[in-house]
Structure 1
Amino acid sequence: MKRQKRQKQQILEQASQWLTRLQEGNLSDEEKKQLLNWQNQSPYHQKIWKTALDLHHKLSELPQDVTLPVIHKLRKEQTTSYKKYVWLLAALPVLSAIYYGNEQQQWLADYRSPVGQQTTVHLPDGGKIILNGLSAIDVDYSQQQRTIILRKGEIWIETHPDQLKRPFIVQTKQGSAQALGTQYLVRMEAQQSFVAVNKGAVKITTLNSKQSKILHSHQQTYFSQYTLNTPQNIDMAEIAWTKGFIMVNDLPLQQFIQRLKPYQKGIIHIDPAIASIKISGTYPIHDLDGIYSMLAHTYALDIHDYANHYFIHIKAK
């Protein structure tokens, strides 16, 4: 019994170390292999790792300046007893309390769309916004202006004429995109934002350099806080998610997997040898099993699903 208890202690401690590593940043390819090998050692490893991934999924919705201090504090303050290693379970209610107890904080937006779901928001003026998975917005309507603050992810906007003639503006960390009677998409990334206009026009203004440019129907561009790229013809694949699909043409598998992030919980590990395989086609975003089946059949891939899509391993057959 004591030996079995020590083994469980070791597994829990290892899981806590892996989870902390996940929350601190992306794993290298070698680390991903090590994690997969560790998980496959026993059913108990898999059970504990599923619990860890449930926690990691909740952590991913919180800012690191909230989660990391809690994690490190829990680990530091535990004793050497068996309970030292169940910080995974202890952290979950602590972080849930943070998550639900701070709804008024700025980072917790008015509207959120979780992994694998899209949320439609009907605005007070008759307009509509669709949030892609893993996206969040604040809605701020005043007497002078209609403002949408994009906190995370990407949104599809369909504006409506306003009786008060107030400007309609989407704000990101990199600048703003003002509608000039339109349907358009805005996506915020780490260092830049992306805008694609389907109908009408959009005026883009960078945050710091205050550069401005008007995008017209069927144009798209990227912009940062200081720079604004030359507009290009719209790639309709960029807005395909609003119809329930991912459309790609000769996209490397590694980048294709990035497109799945709004819909895929957990982790996807790709063997580096196949990361550059070019993927083409149209894939239904609400059918992950179908996507993996299509990939496996079309590109001769071996795809293993662990813990109900919480860990996907992709390699060549």
Structure 2
Amino acid sequence: MPSVNKQQILAEASTWLMRLQERELSLEELEQLQQWQQQSPLHQKIWQKALLLQTKFSDVPLDIAIPVMQKVGHSSTQSYKKYLWLLAFLPLCSGLYLASEQQQWLADYRSGVGERKRVVLPDGGMVLLNASSAIDVEYTDRQRTVVLRKGEIWIETQHDPLKRPFFVSTRQGTAQALGTKYLVKMMPEYSQVAVTQGRVQVSPHQSQQQQIIETQQQLSFDARHISKVRPFEESNIAWTKGFLMVNEMTLKDFAERLQFYQKGMIRVDSEIENIKISGSYPIDDLEKVYAMLVQTYGLEIEKYAGGYWTVVQQAK
């Protein structure tokens, strides 16, 4: 195949990849993309390489990505390689990255999509990061702090001979351990703390209010307010054992939770998004999760764009 055709395929692939990042494609568009891939083995090869590179670099901040793009663009003499690198970074050009997102990329420890990571702290304590999470570890002579930059973590603290207090800091406030095992999850507007052993003291950043959470309790808080203490729910820590446990959750919300463990996008047809889902689903085996949904709820799973786009719909 002439090189000019290869460059044309690369340009078309970049257009499709941009569309995937910008918005949800209609079923008609997804079928068009499928037909485009099937035009030749080279179409399929270029698309797979584009998806692989996009997955690796899609969360790189602009101040890191752009210099790399420029370097590759100026130094590469092979347009094939140059186009593939540009494909990888195209999604970055469609939006602005905030300082907090740059902090996530540069954090001391971070986990990717579908990855859980165990971190041993300097004092022997342990932090388990859920998928797509990031932390900084800041130990000084006066205190021990784990800064949650993104996502969700499970903490098991250890006795400190120096008797330094242990804190988890989020965007909304702090959760101080009083000899404990506990979970901290940070959302855009609030944080959640759940305790299975010991006690935790929660302190919002913009309030004098404080609340101690006892064993088998949980609560949520934002920068100014603390919710009422509620009984601990086992589903909160099911991910630490490799499961997503839900009870009467809408299919739409379930897909959003599942998104943390799948590379690519999940789309739920609007006609079935309110179906209630219950059960325990293995987050390390997404094909089994989809098989369970098909068998239990009569759904149909279609994959497009080389598996990058998953559509959940009613079985025909």
Q: Are 1:38 and 2:32 counterparts?
A: yes
Task: Say which of 229, 245, 263 aligns to 1:231.
Answer: 229
The alpha carbon displacement at 1:254 in A equals: 1.2
User: TM-score, normalization: structure 1?
Assistant: 0.81
Q: Distance in 2 between matches of 1:182 and 1:247?
A: 23
Letter paired with 2:32: W
Q: Structure 2: which 5+ runs fail to align?
A: 92-101
The alpha carbon displacement at 1:230 in A equals: 2.1
* Aligned counterparts, 1:10-29, within 5 A: 11-23=9-21, 27-28=23-24
Q: Are 1:182 and 2:180 counterparts?
A: yes
* Aligned counterparts, 1:138-149, within 5 A: 138-149=136-147
| TM-aligned CA distance change 1:297 to 1:188, over 3 Å | same
Letter paired with 1:41: Q
Match of 1:100 in 2: none
The alpha carbon displacement at 1:192 in A equals: 2.0
1:255-291 Cα offsets, whole Å, 9 max, x none, are: 1111212321111122221211111111111111111
1:5-28 Cα offsets, whole Å, 9 max, x none, are: 55x6555334323434555x6x24
The alpha carbon displacement at 1:186 in A equals: 0.9
- Please state whether the residue corresponding to 2:35 is helix, strand or coil: coil
* Aligned counterparts, 1:22-171, within 5 A: 22-23=20-21, 27-28=23-24, 31-33=25-27, 35-42=29-36, 43=38, 46-63=44-61, 67=65, 83=79, 87-90=83-86, 92=88, 107-171=105-169
Q: Distance in 1 between matches of 2:90 and 2:33?
A: 26
Q: Distance in 2 between matches of 1:162 and 1:251?
A: 41
- Please state whether the residue corresponding to 2:211 is helix, strand or coil: strand
Contact 1:154 1:187 in 2 (8 A): yes
Contact 1:209 1:226 in 2 (8 A): yes
- Please state whether the residue corresponding to 2:55 is helix, strand or coil: helix
Q: Distance in 1 between matches of 2:138 and 2:26?
A: 42
Letter paired with 1:167: P
Q: Distance in 2 between matches of 1:224 and 1:17?
A: 40
| TM-aligned CA distance change 1:150 to 1:34, over 3 Å | farther
Contact 1:71 1:91 in 2 (8 A): no
Contact 1:183 1:198 in 2 (8 A): yes
| TM-aligned CA distance change 1:106 to 1:61, over 3 Å | closer
Q: Distance in 2 between matches of 1:287 and 1:203?
A: 36
User: TM-score, normalization: structure 2?
Assistant: 0.81
The alpha carbon displacement at 1:250 in A equals: 1.1
Q: Distance in 2 between matches of 1:171 and 1:298?
A: 40
1:136-184 Cα offsets, whole Å, 9 max, x none, are: 2111111101110112211100111111111111111222111111111
Match of 1:99 in 2: none
Match of 1:299 in 2: 297
